Amino acid sequence: MTIQEQMQLLLNRLTTDGGQRGLQLAAYVNGKLVVNVGAGVLDVNSGRRVSSDTLFPVFSTGKAMLATVIHRLAQRGRLAYDQPIAQVWPEFAAHGKGTITIGQALYHTAGIPNMPTGIGLAELHNWDTMCRVVAALKPLWPPGTRIEYHAITSGWILGEVARRVTGQPVGRLVQEEICQPLKMEDMYMGIPDAVEPRVATLEEPGWQRAAVENPAIPDWLCPLSKWMNQPEARRACVPASNAIMSAHALARHYAGLLPGGVDGVELLSPSRVAMATQMQRPPLAIGDDQPKDWGLGYRLGGRDSIYGSTSAAFGFSGYGGSVGFADPTIGLALGFTKNFFGEKENTADIVVRELRAALRSAGH
C-alpha cells in the first residue's frame, strides 16, 4: 500500500468514526509530492465532499506566508530586519514606536500585541482603517524588552511594511511572491468572489471563551469560526488571521523553503532560511504562557514539537488545528487543514504521527 493510500484510509476513518467533518493532507518529500488527499465534507448542510481544490480557513497558520513575503523582500534588499518600521511607514512612529524594527515585529517583541479598542467588524475588514489605528497604538512596554504573541496586530504591522515597500497589497504579494514562483493557486489573503463556493464551512460546537487562549483576541470577534464563515471576513485581508488555502498549497509553500525547493524553485536561499529560522533567545522577559521557540516569523521545532524534533524544523499552526511546516532533517514539507474544531485530541498530531511512521517504513 502506498503512503498516499495509507493516508487516504486514515482521513476516511477520522471523518467517519473519528468525529471529524472535512480534512485535507498534503506532503512533499525532497521536493516530490507524496501525499495529496482529502476526506469528509466541506459543508455538513449540503453534504458536499472535500476535494483536492477545497479551500480551508487556516487562521494563524497563514502567518508563515506573510513571514515568507517579508523574507523574500529582505533577500532582494528591499528591506532589512534591523530597519525601523517608521522609515517606510512614518505614522508608525507615534507614541515612542520610532525605533521598533521589522525584525522585532517578526519576533513579536514590538510591544503592541493587543487589538485596538473602539473598533468592530467593519473597521477590522478595512485595511487603511486598521493600519491607521495600529500606527496609533501605545506600546505596553519598551519595545524589544518582552516577547508577547501579537496574534492579530502583527499582520497589519508586517503587511503594511510590505505594502509601503512594494506598493502592492498583501493579497497580491502572496500571489506574486509565493504562488506564481511555485506555479500554484489556492492560497489567499482575501479571497476573490469566484472561489467562495470552494471554501469549507467551519463548525465549532460547544464553543467557550477558553477556547481562545489569547486575551489579545477580543470577545466581539469570537467565536472565530463564526467570523470566518462570513463572506465579508473571507474577502477582507487580515493577514495574521484569515488566510484561506488548500493543504496542497500550504505544503508546496514549505517545500519551496527547503534546500532544492520544489520543481527547481527555492523561495528563499538556504542561507536566508537559516537566518530566518535561527532561534531567537536574547535576555527578554517572556509573557505568561508565551511560546519560546521563535525564529523570525516562524515557530521552530524541538522536543515533542509537531514540526520536528530539532530547531531546524519550522512552521506555524492555526486556531482549530490546521498546521504547516518544513522538517529539513527528512526533507518533509506538510500542510494539513480541517473544518471541525474542538476535539479533545489534536487531530493534526494523529495525522502527522501516522505520516511520519509511514515515511519511516518507506525508507524516508
pLDDT digits (tens, 9 = 90+) for 238-291: 999 999 999 999 999 999 999 999 999 999 999 999 999 988 665 465 655 556
- Pairing outcome for strands 243-245 and 314-317: unpaired
Reported as a single tens digit per residue, the pLDDT across 176-192 is 999 999 999 999 999 99
Q: 213 CB contacts (<8 Å, ≥6 apart)?
A: 289
pTM to 2 decimal places: 0.96
Domain of 208, in residue numbers: 3-361
Amino acid at 47: G
Which residues share a beta bridge with 325? 315, 334
State the CB neighbour count (10 A cutoff) for residue 185.
Answer: 16
Residues forming the active site: 60
- Quote the number of domains for the chain: 1
State the CB neighbour count (10 A cutoff) for residue 8.
Answer: 18
Q: What is the pLDDT of residue 279?
A: 80
Which residue stretches of the chain are H helix? 3-16, 63-75, 102-106, 121-124, 127-135, 153-166, 170-174, 224-228, 231-235, 247-255, 270-276, 347-361
Cell numbers given for 83 = 530597519
Q: 190 CB contacts (<8 Å, ≥6 apart)?
A: 170, 171, 234, 235, 236, 237, 242
Reported as a single tens digit per residue, the pLDDT across 125-167 is 999 999 999 999 999 999 988 888 999 999 999 999 999 999 9
- For residue 230, the domain's CATH number is 3.40.710.10
Calculate Rg over the CA atoms of the chain: 19
Q: What angle do CA 100, 124, 103 make, to 5 degrees?
A: 20
